[in-house]
Copies of this chain bind each other. A is one copy, B any other.
Amino acid sequence: MTHADNPYERALDKGPANFVPLTPIGFIERSALVYPQKTAVVYGERRFTWAEFHARSRRLAGALAGRGLGVGDTVSVMAPNVPEMLEAHFGVPMSGAVLNAINYRLDADTLRFILGHAQTKLLIADREYSKVVARALDGMSSPPVVIDIDDPLCEHGRCIGEKDYESLLAEGAPDFDYRYPEDEWQAIGLGYTSGTTGDPKGVVCSHRGAYLNAIGQILAFGLSPRSRYLWTLPMFHCNGWTYTWAVSATGGMHVCLRAVDPARIFSLIEEHEISHLCGAPVVLNLLLHAPKEVKRRFGHRVEVATGGAAPPSAVIEAMSNMGFDVTHLYGLTETYGPTTVCAWQEEWDSDDVETLAGRMARQGVIYPTMQALRIADPETMVDTPWDGETIGELMLRGNTVMRGYLKNPTATDEAFRGGWFHTGDLGVRHPDGYVEIKDRAKDIIISGGENISSLEVEECLFRHPKIMEAAVVARPDEYWGESVCAFITPIEGQALSEEEVVAWCREHIAGFKIPRTVIFDELPKTSTGKIQKFFLRERAKKM
């Protein structure tokens, strides 16, 4: 049927009554309307209701607009999980500008690169980072205006900006008449990937994608108006996996947290009856291995979502005994944070914890808000068989894949070749359709021509009762090409020898996978808790 003959294409157009761009801005608007007096944000002694949170975000938007900032401009924020960071997630997009949440553990050089690349017009920075910020700005030809977050709970740094955040808010009106994006494809966020080599890449997210991914989190993690979400995951990390927006969509409660401190986490869980929290595996380990005197028994269950590495069975079981139910999510900055979930099957209800851990180690299936996933050969784009064995690259398609990398069409085209987003993660597809990441492409160790998954060896090490964390990398070897090199952090106070480690591995994995080198040390991590294998690889090379 031609368009002209189609009765469904006549006088049935989009208009203000039936079409509105999708954007998370509407979430806070609705929660302020439905739950105006309900507590939205808790931080130390501070409390903001939904009406206040909304009004403060509008003030921020008004202040930015008053300074001439809007569509196409970047506002950067370098802050821990404080209310100002949450407000920026609404106030910046309400002004039309793009929010660039920056990793607060970055060095001055990287920060300078990001501010320049993003063409940041205004930087809101917590006083704690004043030194590194000052150093970064020092070398810039046209540095951004700086606004200080002057938090009484912060014991470090000094104010170095034009004014403080509260004074900035005072420039804007609480009823500032913000606009929606003209097009839902418009950019809402810019997040730099923590690339271990080369310059960071700026991932551009749209209003549409942010809206849909936030809905995806609600569905995957079971958020509701009664949810009380504790901010153990950095908000700069994929906009806090879009939970900044998701929790706001439900009208639940944000409980902010300046630093990941186990004692503080346990007491907040008890005090606010926290229902949900997210974190890298290191957060789970911190809770598990917290000193006895800070641990608390609480009378409810806490849902914990983790990603970045599969939680070992010992961790799942020990967390469960402490009151935490662990869900395994997977995603990348390029997918707005988590976008797959190891979805529970009812028949697992009766599984023992070992079997369960095996199932839950998998990254699983796509969210309802993602479109499709495949494991395929990145060259031929042919799918691998669903045999749980054949390794291919994990690829994704859908509305919650980034728009692309800012000012980097080459990297964008490379990431999207063949019409799929190439994650760079290698994995298998199980007969039930669930995917399991086996390694990053660069993390595979090839020893004597055999592929060794560093993840498999790490999984084995993790299960050792005296091991807190472990990372495995390739060490150049004249005879084998590469050999397995393990870096291990024992649990505090536990004595552990190389012989014990090797004996343990001999019991659990194939001989050629046993580490030939074992080093006991702390592991270098990114600010999001990811182990920086790059540095370990460098160390292994020099040994």
A345 on the B face (CB < 8 A): yes
A500 on the B face (CB < 8 A): no
A365 touches B7 (CB 8 A): no
A398 on the B face (CB < 8 A): yes
The stretch of A18-26, A321-329, A457-465, A530-538 that contacts the partner chain: A18-26
How close is A410's CB to chain B, nearest CB, in angstroms? 9
A187 on the B face (CB < 8 A): yes
B12 touches A406 (CB 8 A): yes
A17 touches B406 (CB 8 A): no
Instruction: Known A225-B343, A368-B30; judge A12-B412 contact (CB<8 A).
Output: yes
One complex includes copies of this chain to the number of: 2
A34 on the B face (CB < 8 A): yes
The stretch of A70-78, A283-291, A501-509 that contacts the partner chain: A70-78
The binding surface of chain A is classed by DSSP as loop
* A 53-95 binary contact with B (CB < 8 Å = 1; else 0): 0000000000000000011110000000000000000000000
- Bound Cα distance A18, B72 (Å): 20
- Bound Cα distance A7, B407 (Å): 7
A309 on the B face (CB < 8 A): no
Instruction: Known A6-B71, A6-B72, A73-B1; judge A345-B12 contact (CB<8 A).
Output: no
How close is A417's CB to chain B, nearest CB, in angstroms? 9
A344 on the B face (CB < 8 A): yes
B20 touches A397 (CB 8 A): yes
A34 touches B73 (CB 8 A): no
The stretch of A192-200, A214-222, A256-264, A511-519 that contacts the partner chain: A214-222
How close is A223's CB to chain B, nearest CB, in angstroms? 9
Residues in chain B near residue A489, CB distance under 8 A: none
- Bound Cα distance A27, B204 (Å): 27
How close is A542's CB to chain B, nearest CB, in angstroms? 39
The contact sample of 19 A-B pairs, CB cut-off 8 A, is A1-B71, A7-B72, A8-B186, A8-B406, A10-B409, A11-B404, A11-B409, A11-B412, A12-B204, A13-B404, A16-B419, A18-B397, A18-B403, A19-B399, A20-B398, A22-B399, A30-B368, A225-B343, A249-B368
